[in-house]
Amino acid sequence: MAEVFDNKGVKIIPFYLPQFHTIPENDEWWGEGFTEWTNVKKAKPLFEGHDQPRTPLNNNYYNLMDDNVKIWQAKLAKEYGIFGFCYYHYWFKGGRQLLEKPAEQMLKNKEIDIPFCFCWANENWSKNWDGGNREVIMEQDYGSQEDWEKHFRYFVRFFRDERYITVHGKPLLIIYKPEQITDLQQMVAYFRKRAKEEGFPELCCAFQFPTYYADMYYREDIFDYRIGFEPVYSRNIGKLNRPGTAKKVKMLRKILGENAVSAYRRFRQGKSGSNWGKSQNLSMYFYDEAWEKILNNQWTEEFLPGAFVDWDNTPRNKHGVMYEGFSIEKFGEYMKRLVKRAEEEKKPMIFINAWNEWGEGAFLEPDEKYGYQKLEAIKKALK
């Protein structure tokens, strides 16, 4: 197994988007031949000095159905000190999957030689690009134990692979938005039990998206770690300890037990959805300010630090969010400081957003403007 506690320092793990190949569903929803590159190519600068579109080095608009692409990515990442990838995993109502083929191909091909783990991107797919409830085109529904068993059996094929990332021998599974899972405690407990039954010491479970902090706070009986998913976490750091919902959930749990929490979630999900996707102006934040928060946030024992390369999701949405002030020099210096602090506080992993989120401006892969300099900054930081 690809163990993170191997006494070889902090592990850099970027999130990895598999939407760089065509699927019938995207052809139907967005037009024939749609991939993430479609958004990237059509991007235009919205104001003077706006760095769009972003272009991969040598026009490498790759197709992830080609194993040679995945072999190239793995070799490139390892060359610059990246420990492994965290693949986004899409599993919907009734066990319906999307974009699963690159990971399944990787599982069969040992030449794609890099550690990996999964982050279950458990949100609705909608026309808003945000997982909200307006114009849902692929619905999430978490089902019952029968559905959980089907999902676990899919996971365990990957858990058994020697490249799968483990924490003290436990396969690492990340959940994107745990607050949306109705029977969260019950489902995670079932996954943990099944992992033991399959011969693993247990399951190591972490969560990614910061809205969960405001919902229930961290609970060690559900999660081993919480991840600073950046730049979203630092942008919302002042909002995460609002007492309202957390007090309601704690009261329900104390008086009525875990089933009441599940019922409350069902009620909340029926009454309201995401407000994202409504008409809004372009939101701009400052790169340096975000990184200062990242570097100075309080790190509790169960917290895993995160980082981001850059951020500009206007290729997906012209009313999107961007960060102003990126430079290679800044990114490199901030990564050095982050790695140093992680080493001092004995954090095993740093999760970076991202390896290839081209439509959000968050990528380490080489591009026409910076070449390999982002990857070189990672390598220098690790030294």
| pLDDT, tens only, 131-157 | 555 678 898 989 999 999 999 999 999
CB contact set of 226 (below 8 Å; sequence gap of 6+):
206, 207, 212, 213, 218, 302, 303, 304
Residue 101 tokens, joined:
């083929």
CATH number, domain of 233, equals: 3.20.20
**Number of domain units in the chain:** 1
Q: Are 206 and 351 in contact (CB under 8 A)?
A: no
pLDDT digits over 314-358, tens only?
998 877 899 989 999 999 999 999 999 999 999 999 999 999 999
Read off the pLDDT band of 254 (50, 70, 90): low
> In terms of C-beta density within 10 A (0-12 exposed, 13-18 middle, 19 or more buried), how is residue 380 classed?
middle
Mean pLDDT of the chain, nearest integer = 88
- CA–CA dist 363, 312 (Å, integer): 11
Q: Percentage of the chain with pLDDT > 70?
A: 84
Task: For residue 196, give the 3-state DSSP assignment.
Answer: helix
pTM for this prediction: 0.89
How large is the average pLDDT for residues 289-317? Answer: 94
Domain interval for residue 328? 2-382
